[in-house]
Amino acid sequence: MKFLDEAKIYVKSGAGGAGSVSFRREKFIEFGGPDGGDGGRGGDVVALCVHGLNTLLDYRYQQHFKAKTGGHGMGQNRAGARGADAVLKVPVGTEIYDAEAGVLIADLTEIGQSVRILKGGNGGFGNTHFKSSTNRAPRRANPGEVAQERTLILRLKLIADAGLVGLPNAGKSTFLAKVSAAKPKIADYPFTTLAPQLGVVACDGREFVLADIPGLIEGAHEGVGLGDRFLAHVERCEVLLHLVDAGSEHAGKAYKTVRHEIEAYGAGLTEKPEIVALSKIDTVDAETLKTQLARLKRAAKRTPLALSSATGQNVQEVLRALQKEIDAKRTVENPTPAKAAEWHP
């Protein structure tokens, strides 16, 4: 399945149905009076977060969504039917923006979460509504309220606990395949990963979701390579795992290249906890490994981890480091009930 993480669509709610002008006419009833019913309300435009979707691909083939118009009122005080809603089914992590104003309308992060984007028009009153002691036979009815319309931008940001970043061929996909059941494409050429991949990782009896995104190269924030828009899929992560290839020309420069692109992207990624690791250590000799670790330590200003996804060396230690950062973040965001009660008397 192809991956699509942004779509532009046009939506329109349903107009309200018109009220009816009608009079009761039956044999032996001389003064029947007005009996025109009200119009039905138009359908809403609703966005619904559903299970089983992980892309916005459906919105590539259909960009116009219109709710149904409310039914018109009829005689014998029959009200018009309510128009059917237009339901936009989206995956978890979808943000909805107003295309013209650029304003965030909704951020759907849980299954079953829904939001009304546009309200359907109210139905018009029938002539029964205007009957009074001075106007026994009103011949007026209201038209239904007009529909609303809007152009929306849908943006998908995958929800994961940890994210993998690095240059192309840094070993990100190999690491994801090693620690989870995900099956990303792996090859010995750059940009084998063309779309984000998710995997569920088990560590010491617990689980977390790990996201792999396409590699970043120098100038990605200016559109070089695949650009940097895939960084949106690690915006929700609690921690970043920055992998640097031990076989690269200079591990320190490779690290700084990716960090520069992350800083240029912004969106708070530089403030997230980062674990730095030298990958593919099985492909270099001991002397090269020592040199690359020293270079990476100077560039990152911290002691990096060293791992090999091929042999499994130190992979578990890296997972434990990720789990530790995730647990620390969750503890801050979800304190124990006792502490919460102290903070909010």
CA dihedral over 219, 222, 227, 233, signed as positive or negative: positive
Alpha-carbon span 19 to 207, nearest angstrom = 58
Give the residue among 106, 95, 112 at the shortest CA–CA distance from 49. Answer: 112
Joined together, the tokens standing for residue 345 give 């008397």
User: What one-character-per-residue DSSP string does 124-185 give?
Assistant: PPPGGGG--SS-SS----PPPPPP-EEEEEEEE----SEEEE-STTSSHHHHHHHHSS----
Q: Which residues are annotated as a binding site?
A: 166-173, 191-195, 212-215, 279-282, 308-310
Question: Chain centroid to CA 177: how far?
Answer: 24
- Which residues make up each annotated binding site for GTP? 166-173, 191-195, 212-215, 279-282, 308-310
Question: What residue numbers does the annotated binding site for Mg(2+) cover?
Answer: 173, 193
What are 201's strand-pairing partners? 208
H or E stretch including 290?
Answer: helix 286-300
Instruction: Give CA–CA dist 128/19, Å, rounded.
Output: 9
